Amino acid sequence: MFTHSNRLLVTQERYMPSFRLLFTTLLSTLLMFSAAVAAQDHSRLPQMGTTGAGFMTIERERVVGDYYMRQVRAQAPIISDPVLDSYLADLGNSLVVNSDNVRYPFNFFWINNAEINAFAFMGGYVGVHTGLIQEARNESEIAAVLGHEIAHVTQRHIVRRMQEQQRSMPMTIAGLVGSILLGMASADAGAAGLYATMGMSQQSQINYTRLYEQEADRIGMSVLASAGFDPAGAPSFFGRLAEKYRYVSKPPEMLMTHPLPEARIADTRARAENMRRVDVAPSLDFHLAKARVDARYTRASTQSELLDMAQSDNPMMQRYGQYALAIRALDSGEAEKAERLLRPLLQESPRNRFYLDVKTDILLQQERFDDVLTLLREAYQRSPNEQVITLNFANAAIEAGEIGLSIDLLRHFLLENPEHVLALDLLTAAYERSANRAAMYETRAEALALRGNFKLAIDQLHTAHNHTNSDITHKRLNARIDQLRAQLEQAQNLM
């Protein structure tokens, strides 16, 4: 939908480079400090699925998760790519619907980081590094990692560990949040603060209890099979990862936050062998998502390697190569070349959202506004309010000067997706083009609030207040200001 030359950046770059690895380490730690203990006393563990309610309510857990996610949006290199977002959400939710103890909706998002890693935290938020899909060989492998992370959330491992740790030391959310925020300014200080908060100063790295990891493996693999994936995806991916980095001095982040001793790999293999094997057909969407990440974010393959793939006898590799080459050409400003590469793919699958997205950008680069609006209007009529089509349509409408159309599309989309930051950013741009200053400032405030900047969001609402004479609008803005002040106070209490 958006290339690197576009007015709206795909990836948030407002983060410190030294913070990238620390940030994901800290978030992974938030999940897995639940297992960081020196001793393994399994008899003290409460029963699965019903634990932690007395220590932290589900509603409180959601509040904490929401706060962390706002910090992630503000500081981490999140990819705002509707095509990849839709793919990941579809894959993740296909696992969630086959999980037990799901207490709230899950949210899946991409981190633009070549490290092989994934992490989850309170409130059902699951982050996936772009490096993870580059390492996965098939959809069952990436689904295995997602299933594992989902199980950590559904079993409330964070809350369970906090409940245990409280017996021996004062464990507070405030300390953990403070360490993360400190880490944004200083990686070393943040890590030291986190370890001190968790009482882990005597440890050189994060440790996990076998129980929690085995529990996540067992439940994750069961979910994997129930969702129709091959349960062998878990031992296949984890085993290959452990073997590949067995002798390196600095293993990938996933191996540091998810240790893989031989016993654990053997256990997942044994479980897979005892489960019904599934002959899963190759997923075109998986290969296209991997190709898109390769072409635009990790750039793991060279141009010559992509050319070889495009000429492969393997149909999936062939489409991978053609699609990635089309994106590379588009991002280099070669719209005609990109169109030639994409044409056979579109002819084969004219409604494929991966292809429609690139076709949209090709037409916009060529300034063929009538053609792009016709293409997307027809697609929208078939799939109204679908994320990829709607956001492409809205963006194309802005570029074509059809501002009213864009505003209508985005407002309708946001009724169902009120926390979609990219949609809010697009709507802000549309209101700016329409010279509706009050609506522009109000919409920008909502996007800022979702990035955790409540103070600036409140300032934007005050500015919006000054750009309208409507009493009804004044009352609505005042009410929203009061809500944001309450959220700010709640966030400060977590600190």
Are 307 and 423 part of one and the same domain?
yes
- 147 vs 169: which has the higher pLDDT: 147
What average pLDDT does this structure show over 153-167? Answer: 71
264 and 294 housed in the same domain:
no
What average pLDDT score do residues 480-487 get? 95
Beta carbons within 10 angstroms of residue 441's beta carbon: 24
Among 206, 241, 274, the domain boundary falls at 274
- Which residues share a beta bridge with 366? none
- Per-residue burial over 443-468, b if 16 or more Cβ lie within 10 Å, else e, is bbbbbbbbbbbbeebbebbebbbeeb
In a domain, 49, yes or no: yes
Report how far residue 71's alpha carbon sits from residue 173's, in angstroms, rounded to the nearest whole number. Answer: 14
* Enclosing H/E stretch for 267: helix 262-274
Which 3 state secondary structure label does DSSP give 107? strand
65: CB partners within 8 A, 6+ apart: 121, 122, 123, 124, 125
Same domain, 290 and 311: yes
Least confident of 112-116, 339-343, 400-404, 425-429: 112-116
pLDDT confidence of 11, banded at 50, 70, 90?
Answer: very low
Query: Which position has the token pair 């857990």?
Result: 61
The verdict on residue 259 lying in a domain is yes
Task: State the pLDDT at residue 260.
Answer: 65
Q: For residue 1, is it within any domain?
A: no
Q: What pLDDT does residue 456 have?
A: 97
The region of weakest confidence among 82-86, 153-157, 352-356 is 153-157
Give the pLDDT mean for 426-451: 97
The C-alpha atoms of residue 24 and residue 29 are separated, in whole angstroms, by 8
* Model pLDDT, residue 255: 66
Burial 70-84 (b: 16+ CB within 10 A, else e): bbbbbbbbbbbbbbb
What pLDDT, on a 0 to 100 scale, did the predictor assign at position 192? 42
Nearest to 113 by CA among 127, 126, 123: 127
Residue span of the structural domain in which 422 resides: 284-494
pLDDT at 251 (0 to 100)? 66
Q: How confident is the model at residue 367 (pLDDT cuts 50, 70, 90)?
A: very high
Annotated binding site for Zn(2+): 148, 152, 213
Q: CB–CB of 79/112 below 8 Å?
A: yes
Q: Token digits for 451?
A: 């990035």
Task: Name the nearest CA neighbour of 224 among 212, 239, 236, 208.
Answer: 236
SS3 287: helix
Has residue 3 got a pLDDT over 70? no
Known binding residues: 148, 152, 213
Q: What percent of the chain has pLDDT over 90?
A: 55
Residue 480 belongs to a domain: yes
Structural domain includes residue 4: no
Amino acid present at 307: L
Q: Are 10 and 2 in contact (CB under 8 A)?
A: yes
Which residues are 126's β-sheet partners?
Answer: 108, 120
Q: Tell me what pLDDT residue 71 has.
A: 85
39/74: higher pLDDT: 74
Q: Which residues contact 98 (CB under 8 A, 6 or more apart)?
A: 223, 226, 227
Tokens of 340: 């030639």
pLDDT for res 62: 85
326 lies in the same domain as 252:
no
How much is the pLDDT for 433?
96
Residues 188 and 297 grouped into a single domain? no
12 in any annotated domain = no
Q: Based on the fold, state whether residues 259 and 376 are members of the same structural domain.
A: no
| Six token digits for residue 343 | 């044409």
Write the single-letter amino acid at 119.
F
* pLDDT score recorded for residue 258: 66
> Are 67 and 166 in a shared domain?
yes
**Using 50, 70 and 90 to split pLDDT, how confident is the model at 296?**
very high
Residue 308 has pLDDT above 80, yes or no: yes
Crossing angle of helices 471-494/437-450, nearest 10°? 20
Q: Which of 86-90, 277-281, 481-485 has the lowest mean pLDDT?
A: 277-281
**Mean pLDDT of all residues in 150-177:** 65
Active-site residues: which are they?
149, 217
206 and 300, same domain (yes or no): no
| Diameter of the chain measured on Cα atoms | 69
Identify whether the C-beta of residue 259 lies closer than 8 Å to the C-beta of residue 246.
no
Give Cβ neighbours of residue 179 (< 8 Å, ≥ 6 apart): 26, 190, 193, 194, 197
Same domain, 478 and 340: yes
The answer to whether residues 411 and 454 belong to one domain is: yes
Tens digit of each residue's pLDDT (9 = 90 or more) over 101-120: 888 899 999 999 888 888 88
Which of 212, 240, 274 marks a domain boundary? 274
C-alpha triplet 54, 57, 59: angle, nearest 5°: 170
The three-class DSSP label of residue 254 is: helix
As a whole number, mean pLDDT of residues 117-126 equals 87
DSSP 297: I
Residue 171 inside a domain? The answer is: yes
Residues near 270 by beta carbon (within 8 Å), at least 6 away in sequence: none
Q: In the structure encoding, which two tokens stand for residue 297, read together?
A: 């974010």
Report the pLDDT value the prediction gives residue 293, as an integer from 0 to 100: 97
Cβ distance 436 to 406 under 8 Å? no
- The stretch 446-466 carries a mean pLDDT of 96
CATH number, residue 396: 1.25.40.10
Using alpha carbons, select from 428, 423, 455, 422 the residue that is nearest to residue 441. 428
Give the Cα separation of 376 and 382 in Å (integer). Answer: 10
Residue 304 pLDDT > 70: yes
Q: Tell me: pLDDT of 23 over 80.
A: no
Identify whether 279 is part of a domain: no
Give yes or no: residues 261 and 303 share one domain: no
Claim to verify: residue 136 and residue 28 sit in the same structural domain: yes
Between residues 368 and 115, which one has the greater pLDDT? 368
Euclidean distance between CA atoms 469 and 428, whole angstroms: 20
How many CB atoms within 10 Å of residue 94?
Answer: 16
Boundary residue ending a domain (226, 253, 274): 274
Q: Which residues, in sequence order, are bridge partners of residue 6?
A: none
DSSP 384-407: TT-HHHHHHHHHHHHHTT-HHHHH
Strand bridging mode 118-121 / 125-129: antiparallel
Number of domains in the chain: 2
